[in-house]
Chains A and B, each alone.
Chain A
Amino acid sequence: MPQTLTTLTETASQTAGPYVHIGCIPTFTGIEGVYPEDLGKSPIRDGAKGEVITITGSVYDGTGWALRDAMMESWQADAAGLYPGQTGADPAVSGFCRFAADGMTGEFTLRTVKPGPVPLRQGGHQAPHIAIWIVARGINIGLNTRIYFEDEDNSTDPLLNRIEQRPRVDTLIARKTGPGAYRWDIRLQGQGETVFLDM
Chain B
Amino acid sequence: MPEATTDRDPVYRDTGNLIPRNRAAHPVPYDPDYKTSVTRSPNLPLLSMDSTLTEETGPVFGHTLLGPLDNNLILNFSQGRAPAVGERIRVHGRVMDEHGRGLPNTLVEVWQANAGGRYRHVKDTYFAPLDPNFGGCGRCLTDAHGNYEFMTIRPGAYPWPNRGNEWRPMHIHFSLFGHSFGQRLITQMYFEGDPLIDRCPIAATVKSRSQLDRLVAPLDMHGSRPMDYLAWKFDIVLRGRRQTLFENRMEGL
Contacts and interface: CB of A to CB of B under 8 A. Distances in A.
A34 B46 contact: no
B29 interface: yes
B41 A131 contact: no
Given A14-B27, A140-B34, A198 B123 contact: no
Contacts of B137: 22-23, 26, 31, 34-35
A177 interface: no
A195 B186 contact: no
Contact of B214 (A11, A16, A21, A24): A11
A13 B36 contact: no
Contacts of A15: 27, 34, 37, 186, 188, 202, 205
Given A8-B100, A19-B111, A199 B182 contact: yes
A106 interface: no
A7 B122 contact: no
Interface in B1-44: 18, 20-23, 25-29, 31, 34, 36-44
B96 to A, nearest CB: 6
Contact of A8 (B99, B122, B205): B99
Interface in B101-117: 107, 109-111
Nearest to B49: A199
A11 B59 contact: no
A20 B184 CA distance: 15
Interface residues of B, number: 84
Interface in B124-183: 124, 135-137, 139, 173, 175, 181-182
B248 interface: no
Contact of B27 (A7, A141, A189): A141
A62 B173 contact: no
A63 B67 CA distance: 43
B121 A18 contact: yes
Contacts of B237: 8-11
Contact-size category for A? 35 or more
Interface in A30-63: 30-31, 33-36, 39-40, 61-63
A121 interface: yes
Contacts of B185: 10-11, 13, 142
Interface string B199-222: 000110110100110110000000
Contacts of B29: 139-141
A140 B38 CA distance: 11
Interface stretch (B50-58, B84-92, B225-233): B50-58
A48 B20 CA distance: 34
Given A13-B187, A83-B53, A196-B46, A19 B119 contact: yes
User: Which 7 residue pairs spanning A and B have beta carbons closest together?
Assistant: A23-B111, A138-B36, A138-B40, A96-B59, A198-B46, A140-B27, A62-B39
Interface of B: 18, 20-23, 25-29, 31, 34, 36-44, 46-55, 57-61, 65, 67, 70, 76-77, 79, 96-100, 107, 109-111, 119-124, 135-137, 139, 173, 175, 181-182, 184-188, 202-203, 205-206, 208, 211-212, 214-215, 236-240
